[in-house]
Amino acid sequence: MLLTRDVTKRQNDRVSERSATSLRTGLTERILEGPDGSPKKVVVNTAESPLTWLHARGHISNRLFLASEYLRRDWEAAGLGARVTMRWDAAPRTQRTHPAADPTMRQLSARERFDGALTLAGSGLADILWRVVCAGEGLTAAEKALGWPTRAGKLVLTLALERVADYYRVPG
């Protein structure tokens, strides 16, 4: 019985150590379906966005990557993400004299830029932009959710990011 407890404790220690390492590095083991349908164990970097992954492997240019970062920044600044709790921000105590420092104006400006970029991209391309750039959904998951054929997502995302890069005037 003592030997069993010792072995179990060592296994639990290894699992805890692996979990702590994965939290620090963002690397976790997942079982995904392979091309032939069989399950495969892979290591996934959860801290890396789908666009960072595409950029790091040369699938999108610097221009498109910057455009995606601008769109993501405006989405976050506009506060368009889902809230999970109540806002605990303190109410402002003094009247601000500089209108640019007003958080509400910054939020509205970011919302206008975000809406303008999606409008220029077009209604058919806004879905893939929101899913991959803002929600951080992978291309495969986005393709399935939108009912698109395999590998169509990267082409459509590239077209959408070209339009967004034009909107933000990212140099080519």
Q: Taking CA 15 as the corner, what is the angle to CA 13 and CA 21, rounded to the nearest 5 degrees?
A: 100
Token pair recorded at residue 56: 């790091």
* DSSP SS3 for 167: helix
Domain that holds residue 155: 49-82+103-172
Asked whether residue 115 is domain-assigned, the answer is yes
In a domain, 67, yes or no: yes
Tell me: the pLDDT tens digits for 104-151?
888 899 999 999 999 999 988 999 999 999 888 889 999 999 999 988
C-alpha 135: how far from chain center: 5
Specify if 120 maps to a domain: yes
| 133 domain-assigned | yes
Q: Is residue 16 part of a domain?
A: no
7 found inside a domain: no
- Residue type, position 9, single letter: K
Whether 90 maps to a domain, the answer reads no
Q: Could you give the number of structural domains in the chain?
A: 1
pLDDT value of position 169 = 96
The answer to whether the beta carbons of residues 70 and 168 sit under 8 Å apart is yes
pLDDT at 46 over 80: no
pTM over 0.95: no
d(CA 172, CA 60) in angstroms, rounded, equals 12
| Residue the block writes with tokens 């993400």 | 81
Confirm whether 167 is domain-assigned: yes
Tokens representing residue 109 in the block: 């400006």
Type of residue at 123: S
pLDDT digits (tens, 9 = 90+) for 57-86: 899 999 999 999 999 999 988 887 766 666
